Amino acid sequence: MSIACDNLRIAPSGVDADNARALAALGSLVARTPVVALSVGPNPGSLTRKHIGWL
Amino acid sequence: MMGIKAQSLTDLIASSVSSAYWKPDLEPIRRVYNLNGFTFGVAAGDEQLASFLDPILAPLACPPTASCDWIVELSPVAVIDVPTDARRIFEGPLPEGLTCAMVEDGDGRKLIVPGHFAMWFRRAARRTDLSFVPGKEDGLGGTAAFWMLDDLLAAHGRFLLHGGLVVDPKSESSIAIFAPSGTGKTTTVLALAHAGFCLAGDDALVLDVGEDGCGMWAVPRKLKVDRKTAALLPWLDALLTGNWIDNEQALEIGALQPVVSCALPRRRRVGLVVVLTSPNPNDHAITPIAKPDALMSIA
């Protein structure tokens, strides 16, 4: 298992206080909000509201 | 009483740089930005210097005022180098190619780009002090500006994230789109905007957790549209009238207004989080994702 580190910075000494708070905020975001995964097909121009489950 | 005064460091610096840049007292606050709940002012010797954040924050500018929640002050200096005795937290190149170091320094951290500029993040004083070598201040508005913004936002319980954002015009809820660079975030954000959502941003988001839930807004910087996105979304052709640099064109969000609706950069409740996975050769596919997996992908 690996952590992508796109939004958090992990120093050799660990996660600093700001990044720990950011991780907590991201955890709240994911916990409180509907989350979906989207794989876009060959024609992104045909994306509509329903493709992200938003009607 | 008049007398001989010992030459201070300030005087030494003042004597070594152009007087056009230098004023001995606090520089006036020339630009103020409202980051959806708190303000910060940029104090500098001239308007051009003070507007170094306009490329990413101009729509958030408000009338200058003497009272701000935070001050960013720019001052010219003759030399910028990394102190040899400083505790280094990070050392490496910025994406623009400049070498930098982050060090612990007294009541804050310092980002130092030797020979160019230094940013001293001083939360206890609610200030960011920027020193620059005159003529070498161009890099201030690049990645370093985002590091400064990141610190300033974190000091106020907000978090700068990498992601895109569109807004549902009916509910005024925002939809956050996360994906690593190069996996189609800009293309997806633009396609969704063309499908009826309002475009807020494709790269930098600000998240906070308030009493009303999670809120977000997008930093209103230019979009970077690459040739592949342009080929996939031909309706962009009419807008891509500039020069291609490294196969990219930068587009002001407002420039897209004739083709898609654009959202003002203000905080809205987050209604949906979309985690982009690899494109597929068949058709768009939406699938459930376990929340721990989503958090791992976003983090």
Q: Provide the residue type at B65 as one letter.
A: T
B132: left (phi over 0), alpha (psi -120 to 50) or beta: beta
Specify whether the CB–CB gap between B233 and B189 falls below 8 A: no
Give the residue, B22 or B293, on which the prediction is more confident: B293
Q: Where are the alpha helices (DSSP H) in chain B?
A: 9-16, 47-50, 54-57, 143-154, 185-194, 227-232, 291-298
Q: Mean pLDDT across chain B, nearest whole number?
A: 89
Question: What are the tens digits of pLDDT across the range B83-140?
Answer: 888 888 888 998 888 999 999 877 788 999 999 999 999 999 999 999 999 999 888 9
Selected for mutation to probe chain B from A19, A36, A48, A50 (highest B CB count within 10 Å) is A36
Report the amino acid identity of residue A32.
R
> How close, in Å, is residue A10 to chain B by CA atoms?
11
Q: What is the pLDDT of residue B25?
A: 60
Q: Does A33 touch chain B (CB under 8 A)?
A: yes
User: Over the stretch B242-267, which tens digit does the pLDDT of each residue have?
Assistant: 999 999 999 999 999 999 999 999 99
What radius of gyration, in Å, describes the C-alpha atoms of chain A? 16
Question: What confidence score (pLDDT) does residue B16 get?
Answer: 40
Backbone φ/ψ region at B184: left (φ over 0), alpha (ψ -120 to 50), beta: left
ipTM value: 0.89
Separation in Å, CA of B10 to nearest CA in chain A: 33
Contacting residues of B for A36, CB less than 8 Å apart: 272-275, 286-289
Strand partners, B109: B104, B121
Q: What is the pLDDT of residue B182?
A: 74
Has residue B24 got a pLDDT over 80? no
Secondary structure in 3-state letters for B89-134: EEEEECCCCCEEEEEEECCEEEEEECCCEEEEEECCCCEEEEEECC
Contacts of B88 in chain A (CB under 8 A): none
Nearest chain A residue to B228 by CA distance is: A44
**pLDDT for res B9:** 42
* Average pLDDT value for residue range B77-85: 92
Ranges of chain A with pLDDT below 70 = 1-5, 10-13, 55
CB–CB contact A35 B273 (8 Å)? yes
Among B83, B127, B91, B92, residue whose Cα is nearest residue B108: B127
Contacts of B257 (CB under 8 A, 6+ apart): none
The model's pLDDT over B275-286, given as tens digits with 9 standing for 90+, comes to: 999 999 999 999
- Give the chain B residue whose CA is nearest to the CA of A53: B286
Is the model's pLDDT at B152 over the cut of 80? yes
Query: Given an 8 Å threshold on Cβ–Cβ distance, is B159 in contact with A48?
Result: no
If pLDDT is split at 50, 70 and 90, which confidence band does B4 have?
very low
Contact assignment for A44 to B277 by CB distance below 8 Å? no
Q: B interface mutation test: which of A1, A6, A43, A55 has the most B CBs within 10 A? A: A6
From the candidates A1, A8, A40, A55, which should be mutated to test the interface with B, based on the most B CB atoms within 10 A?
Answer: A40
B199 CB contacts (<8 Å, ≥6 apart)?
B166, B189, B190, B193, B253, B256, B260, B261, B262, B263
State residue A55's pLDDT score: 66
Position B22 pLDDT exceeds 80: no
Contact A6 B213 (CB under 8 A): no
Q: In this predicted structure, what is the pLDDT of residue A11?
A: 66
Contact A37 B168 (CB under 8 A): no
Taking only the tens place, the pLDDT of each residue in B160-200 is: 999 999 999 999 999 999 997 778 999 999 999 999 999 99
Strands B127-132 and B248-251: unpaired
Q: Record the tokens describing residue B253, joined without a space.
A: 């969000």
The C-alpha of B274 sits at a distance from chain A's nearest C-alpha, in angstroms, of 5
> pLDDT at position A35, please?
96
Contacts of A4 in chain B (CB under 8 A): 180, 296-299
* Residue of B178, B207, B286 to mutate, testing the A interface (most A Cβ within 10 Å of its Cβ): B286
